[in-house]
Chains A and B, each alone.
Chain A
């Protein structure tokens, strides 16, 4: 038999299969795109008929990250999506949100779109990515769009001085700051009911914390007769050592950067990391940490905690332990174990800070190509953003519809949890997706929230968590890696070495050696000296010493 003939056999077989498979792929695509299109056409028909004075209908597409607490959120159908309806009616637009949990995958998706020239009208990305876009000349100048006159509500959240110092030196005004949480709520949480069962005290120091982890691992705190619980867990996403490990703070490293003894410190590559890694190795050897932490993808460890398997976690979500929140860790754990009681604690009461204050880290941007071709689109998009940052938009995106999901008297908002849970929290918890532009800080708009779900227990928790000390890590300046360095490669190698020490070397003895390689071969020293210089440029009274 000739090969040509067999090629025919193979090809005909392959086409048959290909047609069968391709149906599969198309179906999902079609389902995603068809829904906004239909709603748009009906809306536009009615709009043009009734109000001729309205500006021309425009379609807008935003690419936005959503918070990890909304990792499982999905938008409802257009008829139930009252935010979409409100925006589309008010601004005569056809709004499409591309949303995804922020992180590496988000960034990749963003980059694919930019590379393909399929640029969203407004997009949001972290500081490092936006620097790259800015230096590549992808971004439009925002002077005409982002100013007190055009978006007054935005300036309730972000100060002009912050915007100015956020811009890259010599880079023009092209990166808006995404309104950010000024108050941070980092805390460790422990299963108080497990503590009580094993007759333990709330841990007040790092050593006590480790002791509790040991007991939680070996003492069968859930009483099922099996050794299936762990003291601590976190999510390494198969890539890195999270800052959630208590060993960082135990060795004086607060969050990612800090200034100590008049020197800029990159916490994750400081010499002291040796002790941090050694601490994690010791913890691993004792078996008190969930061995799946490294491969676990966020929020995998929280899911595990909700399954009654983990005794201590770290969280930056202020709602983590609230029983009033239908989607909190507390509520989810309680569904499995009715006695579950997550309580915050601070194992480092003597430290001046356990985390940094909120800083602008995320940028709002517009593509140059979009602004040049379609300035009207950008202007309209910023009208929408302004509305989202204002009281009306804030209320709608955070609490739902007035009269239905909350009542309003002056600046006092009283929530109606039953309606909220039925329409939103238990219907995909989708409202959180629209909160991309405003953090959960009603005080900024002078609103006072009365949430009947917040029990005295929850109130106490909120108060405790808010009381944990935070500091300003760095003066307000946007740090840019110097020309010729590659911060991406540097961090990747850094993560790899951290992991290598924990799992392969099983010892941190080689860290000084590894670090030197990072500092020289991977240009770490050049990067951080560059950062030091940039900080010195804005410091008025004193100057930092050279980075070593």
Chain B
């Protein structure tokens, strides 16, 4: 009796169970892949999803002693404080400007360097140039600032002294509001251009060599090849990076700006992140800092979705 019941059950479920079996088999086949994926998933869970609970403090009057569970709720008060702060228009403007400068003046040179490197035939020379250009990426900003300072210090800087000795007058790059943002972008360029080129080089490597051969047969020169094969080949990587950068448009590079900032260039260099740092860690107003973080993330999300949609419309495909 029992047996027959079980049999009928099994029969009834057979189309379903075969699908499940298939799934199980494919899971089993990919077991090592899945196992290897677990640390990555855990990482995102632990360091990216769990901390999201911290968003709560943006809506609370957070007190360290009371913690997340006992601090009183204040709704959107902290967002109002942020938007009404006299600093807000200024830090917003600075952040956007610096971020957009970085986008333009860092992405294009990255690509240009990759294209240049790609044209080099001598292997050792290419490797040497590549190593030299991406070396600075591994220096910390503190060290880079030290280097920049010893070149451009208003009194004893190497370049400043040269400038003065040639009778071109005083050079005050580090404290001049007119040059501060350029200084940020250029030093960032120096530090990261070689590193940024690597991704484009990888993309260049995926272009089918036969296309070049075919073009050569058709009598295409170097420029023609670059225009019709190379550039279209890396276009999608460029767009992809652009979309990703859109997501972090309100990050203007805290690490660098915090170190380069001084009281004289506050007007042009104070960005959202340095402001948050002051509010949150120097004055212990955690809730305002958290509210600003939430605001930044929302804007970032909107931008990344928008950019993706635009890419789909224009180029026919987005990231998802």
Contacts and interface: CB of A to CB of B under 8 A. Distances in A.
Contact of A136 (B174, B237, B284, B317): B284
Interface stretch (B98-106, B198-206, B212-220): B198-206
Contacts of A114: 64, 284
A500 B264 CA distance: 7
B262 A136 contact: no
A112 B261 contact: no
Contacts of A486: 283
Interface stretch (B24-32, B123-131, B148-156, B183-191): B148-156
A13 B263 CA distance: 39
Interface in A5-43: 5-7, 9-10, 12-14, 17, 21, 24
Contacts of B317: 2-4
A204 B195 CA distance: 59
Nearest to B153: A292
B195 A496 contact: no
Nearest to A304: B156
Given A17-B195, A292-B156, A295-B175, A136 B282 contact: no
B113 interface: no
B282 A107 contact: yes
Nearest to A228: B156
Interface residues of B, number: 41
Contacts of B199: 9-10, 13-14
A290 B155 contact: yes
A366 B187 CA distance: 43
Interface string A232-263: 00000011100000000000000000000000
Nearest to B320: A4
Given A238-B263, A291-B155, A295-B154, A9 B203 contact: yes
Residue among A1, A230, A239, A486 facing the most chain B CB atoms (10 A cut-off): A1
A295 B153 contact: yes
Contacts of A240: 263
A170 interface: no
B262 A6 contact: no
Contact of A2 (B63, B64, B198, B236): B236
Contact of B282 (A4, A104, A304): A104
B233 A488 contact: no
Nearest to A489: B283
A503 B156 contact: no
Interface string A362-401: 0000001100000000000000000000000000000000
B306 to A, nearest CB: 15
Contacts of B261: 238
A10 B240 contact: yes
A449 interface: no
B115 interface: no
A347 to B, nearest CB: 24
B318 interface: yes
B168 interface: no
Nearest to A111: B281
Interface in B233-267: 233, 236-237, 239-241, 261-264, 266
A108 B198 contact: no
A137 interface: yes
B319 interface: yes
Nearest to A292: B155
Interface in A437-468: none
Contact of B65 (A10, A136, A488): A136
Contact of B281 (A4, A108, A290, A504): A108
Residue among A2, A13, A14, A17 facing the most chain B CB atoms (10 A cut-off): A13
Contacts, number: 113
Contacts of A503: 175, 264
Interface in A263-317: 290-292, 294-295, 304, 309
B280 interface: yes
A158 interface: no
A499 interface: yes
B164 to A, nearest CB: 10
Contact of A3 (B149, B263, B281, B318): B318
Nearest to B149: A295
B64 A115 contact: yes
Interface in B9-26: none
Interface in A94-143: 104, 107-108, 111-112, 114-115, 117, 132, 136-138
Contact of A294 (B149, B262, B282): B262
B281 A239 contact: no
B227 interface: no
Nearest to A239: B263
Contacts of A495: 263
B255 to A, nearest CB: 13
Contacts of B318: 3
A226 to B, nearest CB: 11
A7 B239 CA distance: 10
A499 to B, nearest CB: 5
Given A138-B65, A292-B156, A488-B282, A496 B138 contact: no
A137 B153 contact: no
A410 B296 CA distance: 67
Interface in B260-276: 261-264, 266
A126 to B, nearest CB: 12
A495 B266 CA distance: 12
Interface in B267-320: 277, 280-284, 286, 311, 315, 317-320
A138 B64 contact: yes
A291 B240 contact: no
Contacts of B311: 3
Given A132-B284, A292-B154, A10 B202 contact: yes
A406 B156 CA distance: 43
A498 to B, nearest CB: 8
Contacts of B149: 295
Contact of B202 (A9, A24, A291, A368): A9
B319 A3 contact: yes
B312 to A, nearest CB: 9
Contact of A6 (B240, B277, B280, B281): B240
Contacts of B266: 496
Interface string A470-490: 000000000000000010100
Contacts of A137: 63-65
A14 B319 CA distance: 16
B155 A1 contact: no
Residue among A108, A295, A486 facing the most chain B CB atoms (10 A cut-off): A295
A313 to B, nearest CB: 15
B153 A3 contact: no
30 contacts: A1-B206, A1-B233, A2-B236, A3-B239, A5-B236, A7-B240, A9-B203, A10-B199, A10-B202, A12-B202, A104-B282, A108-B282, A111-B281, A111-B282, A136-B63, A136-B65, A137-B64, A137-B65, A239-B263, A240-B263, A291-B154, A292-B154, A292-B155, A294-B262, A295-B175, A309-B156, A369-B65, A499-B263, A500-B264, A503-B264
Given A6-B240, A136-B65, A239-B262, 15 more contacts: A1-B206, A3-B317, A4-B319, A9-B203, A21-B138, A24-B138, A108-B281, A115-B280, A115-B286, A136-B284, A137-B63, A238-B263, A292-B153, A488-B282, A488-B283
Interface of A: 1-7, 9-10, 12-14, 17, 21, 24, 104, 107-108, 111-112, 114-115, 117, 132, 136-138, 230, 238-240, 290-292, 294-295, 304, 309, 368-369, 486, 488, 495-496, 499-500, 503-504
Return the 3 tightest CB-CB contacts between A and B, nearest first.
A238-B262, A291-B155, A292-B155
Interface of B: 63-65, 138, 149, 153-156, 174-175, 195, 198-199, 202-203, 206, 233, 236-237, 239-241, 261-264, 266, 277, 280-284, 286, 311, 315, 317-320
